[in-house]
Structure 1
């Protein structure tokens, strides 16, 4: 499976091309000339045209196959009726015209094949809106995404209207999703019909017809159903619009937003409104709806993130949080946070009795009734034992002190507790 070769030299650019004679000497001209594929390449890519058929038009007998090329990945190959394009030069010129219509809302056109009686167009392969919207196995397209699709396709219609370009068969089957999951129109719809002098105008969609077909797409997005064009206008003009919404979206869309889209769809379907409808206004309306939805999603997401962050803070302090908290603590606080018993011990020894300086012997009040303990002597014995790490003796002396007085001595309680920890005998 190879790549593609450049167009034959005997086929010149189309007469209406923006390429000038002097441009043909430009080394980058290859970027502007539509590539031509070999018929054998497409045979191999589509397994001799036995691969998956993406779409089939009964009226024109055109068929789109899914294929794969080694250097391009999955491709869509459209086989056209030879009777529509008897002239190779005309067909190559049409392919060149499509090649030059590069726009973000039009799928990527890769080239053409024109050998003997064979006529093919090749594009990047993308899934259709119809596959995701009408197939229950594909899951439900959320309301936010439907608004995004409507906005993207409205931009495509605006581009075609401004370019005065015709388009055939705008529908959920010709709307694709690109690599960014944004909706775009199939480039195959840009091909003109040339069966007769009136073919192009009769079979392709002019600006007004394009807006009408866009209205049908809006109804598809709202209802999640395939609607006959002849029934669409009457259906949304006679029933309660909200009742027509896709039941899979129940409770998952904004009524006000849906009503705006229903009104847009009705205007697109009504001839008198369609003729006066400015597609630019449609784009702006859908853009506003989409922006509002994205902001609401962003607020909801932000609130969820804040909730999760609060849960994380209350459940398990992270290493970063511990480090931040540690930087705001005293040396003793840091040692306690790290559960460093030796550091706590050293700090208490160095601090001596600083925490007890405001508690004098005179303020000990009286010793508790029935005690004959010399508080100062017992405290000194306890501290001496603590400093030589005789924690068991320290505990005994500290117990005598705390049992003899009803005055809180911070250093006594701190040393007593640490001694118990070292002795592995926690005491409440």
Structure 2
């Protein structure tokens, strides 16, 4: 069974008291007692999120600290693998723009991860929820969110020395704290690369429709440039407040943006509220960010920038930008023709073979 040795290391220790958590000594993480988790979440009564992995619940420990508890569905090999992968990676990563993992819990075939609570939910809720006040995210807030995501990505790609590829960057995996500072979450699918390794092969394609690098979909070769691509799509979603992909839409978001760019009408990519409320200098900056996003979604991974380069472009507005290569036709054709399992949707992280368009377990 995948991840068995790791899980044995994590779960073999016995609980000895009923405190909020018990130090395991494994990478500085903590094993929570199940009854503590159940009491903190009021028997898992307050759902604050759902995904392909399961559900997330809000809770409060006896100490008063608010927490978020992710419960993984079932006891499948994939569920155990995703759980152990996230524990291992997040136990080794510490950065202000990454979610803080407080600990884990195992109860028979149930797996739980315990995180710090993020009061402003996910970035996705500000993009797609028609009942949420879109005025809440000014361009200044959006800029800070985009730059925070980029700093988090630079840390996992380069600065942490783990060379992690996230593989599922998207607005629902960007959580916002009380001050709307972003933290990257959703590390179930993340992959650690070998030192000096820039890319690796995958027997299955994992990620979310609309955010997948076309080269990765075609060849199964994953790299940090795959995250750059998804980051570019995320920037466009923040600016436009449009979904990356919807089975009912006539065109993908990137197709719409490319069409506007080619017609020199990039201003229409900007959400109408933002267009009306922001100053002229802010609009100019927003258009530059659209330009950078188009460079991030270059269909050729070799010419796609690194996150470090993107951060340089963000901070040095006088630096000229190369012209974007308007491509990605393979993405549009491949994703439009995907055949979905009834249990899956374009908004959920999924797995598929690089030689097949059908999603599965």
- TM-score class, shorter-chain normalisation, is 0.5 to 0.7
Distance 1:70 1:206 in 2: 42
Distance 2:302 2:286 in 1: 20
- Aligned position for 1:319: none
Distance 1:200 1:118 in 2: 27
Cα contact 2:19–2:33 (8 A) shared by 1: no
The match for 1:189 among 170, 187, 201 is 187
Give 5+ residue unaligned stretches, structure 1. 14-31, 290-428
**1:238-317 equivalence runs, <5 A:** 238-239=259-260, 240-249=265-274, 250-253=276-279, 254-272=282-300, 275-288=303-316
Distance 2:236 2:190 in 1: 27
**TM-score, normalising length from structure 2?**
0.64
Per chain length, whose mean CA-contact separation is higher, i.e. which structure has more relative contact order (CA < 8 Å, sep 6+)? 2
- Give the CA RMSD over aligned residues: 3.1
Could you say which structure has the higher strand fraction? 2
Larger Rg: 1
1:73 is displaced (CA, Å) by 2.3
Cα contact 2:72–2:83 (8 A) shared by 1: no
Could you say which structure has the higher helix fraction? 1
Distance 1:200 1:36 in 2: 32
1:121 is displaced (CA, Å) by 0.8
Q: Deviations over 1:320-360 (max 9, x none)?
A: xxxxxxxxxxxxxxxxxxxxxxxxxxxxxxxxxxxxxxxxx
- Aligned position for 2:152: 156
Answer with 140-149 or 65-74: which moved more: 65-74
1:200 is displaced (CA, Å) by 8.3
> How many residues were matched structurally?
260
SS at match of 2:22: coil
Cα contact 1:33–1:96 (8 A) shared by 2: no
1:36 paired with 2:31, answer yes
1:87 is displaced (CA, Å) by 6.9
Distance 2:141 2:269 in 1: 18
1:142 paired with 2:141, answer no
Distance 1:85 1:2 in 2: 31
Distance 2:252 2:85 in 1: 39
**TM-score, normalising length from structure 1?**
0.54
